[in-house]
């Protein structure tokens, strides 16, 4: 089976694929940063908890936007499985057009999988450490992207910069107008971000002169996707599916 690893700024997501199906997936915190030995032990313990044998993994693909974690993660996985890891990134050849050389691996994987999976012009909204929207048309031309502070990033910034606001549970409030401080903060974060995403999608559609198909992904995407009709589908595995496609492209290039 193929193990796909997405090293992000907040989390590392793992996905084990049997063919096109992701049969196991889990997430671990990126911070605090860990050594190769710590990662080795944590990976091994996770496999035991999920009943996964290291011998089941015969291929490993890694995508990363955290350079100083890339090596220790790859090295610990190679030790654990005795398998060479393959790093996929913006330089992995695809049929995408006009992709920026500065594009992060996660954005590249998002836009490539959307191009392979869905028809027409697509927007991929990733609710991660950063909120990102990236657009690709039916011909595989990347039309551009938007990057803003993510949901949790914004909430943490609000809490750290104010004297009397404390951490709150990330959940959907019953009403827009909150009666308590917690409800008011939840409304501002949840409904505020929904409104921003809707507004950005509308602006993109106006700029392009067409209606786009919108895919949402990312750690908090499941909270926001049901709150708007602008999002057509939510797929929490969208990014690692994209990394898998990049890995398959890499194999084809080196066959």
Map out the domains of the chain with their CATH numbers.
Answer: 2-87 (3.30.420.40), 105-236 (3.30.420.40)
| Adjacency order of strands within the sheet including 11-18 | 21-29, 11-18, 2-7, 59-64, 85-87
Query: What is the SS3 assignment for 5?
Result: strand
32 pLDDT more than 90: no
Structure tokens at 132: 């990102």
Structure tokens at 206: 């106006």
Q: Give residue 154's pLDDT.
A: 83
Q: Give residue 153's pLDDT.
A: 82
More confident residue, 170 or 80: 80
Query: Which of 31, 55, 3 has its CA nearest to residue 244?
Result: 3
Q: Give residue 168's pLDDT.
A: 76
Contact 133, 204 (CB under 8 A): yes
| Residues acting as catalytic residues | 106
Q: Alpha-carbon distance 52 to 106, whole Å?
A: 26
- Residue 10's pLDDT band (boundaries 50, 70, 90)? confident
Query: What is the pLDDT averaged over residues 28-43?
Result: 90
- Predicted confidence (pLDDT) per residue in 133-175, tens digit: 999 999 999 999 999 998 888 887 877 777 566 677 778 889 9
Q: Give residue 157's pLDDT.
A: 80
């Amino acid at each position: 089976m193929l193990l796909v690893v997405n090293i992000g700024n907040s989390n590392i997501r793992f996905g084990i694929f049997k063919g096109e199906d992701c049969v196991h997936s889990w997430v671990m915190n990126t911070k605090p940063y860990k050594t190769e030995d710590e990662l080795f032990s944590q990976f091994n313990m996770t496999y035991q908890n999920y009943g996964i044998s290291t011998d089941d993994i015969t291929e490993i693909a890694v995508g990363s936007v955290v350079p100083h974690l890339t090596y220790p993660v790859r090295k610990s996985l190679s030790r654990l499985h005795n398998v060479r890891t393959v790093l996929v990134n913006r330089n992995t050849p695809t049929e995408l057009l006009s992709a920026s050389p500065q594009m992060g691996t996660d954005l590249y994987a998002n836009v490539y999988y959307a191009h392979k999976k869905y028809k027409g012009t697509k927007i991929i909204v990733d609710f991660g450490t950063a909120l990102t929207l990236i657009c690709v048309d039916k011909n595989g031309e990347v039309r551009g992207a938007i990057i803003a502070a993510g949901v949790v990033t914004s909430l943490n910034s609000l809490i750290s910069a104010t004297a009397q606001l404390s951490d709150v549970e990330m959940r959907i409030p019953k009403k827009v107008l909150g009666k308590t401080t917690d409800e008011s903060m939840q409304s501002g974060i949840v409904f505020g971000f929904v409104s921003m995403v809707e507004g950005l999608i509308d602006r993109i559609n106006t700029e392009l002169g067409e209606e786009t198909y919108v895919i949402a992904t990312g750690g908090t995407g499941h909270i926001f996707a049901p709150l708007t009709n602008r999002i057509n589908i939510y797929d929490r595995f969208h990014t690692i599916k994209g990394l898998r496609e990049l890995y398959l492209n890499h194999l084809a290039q080196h066959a």
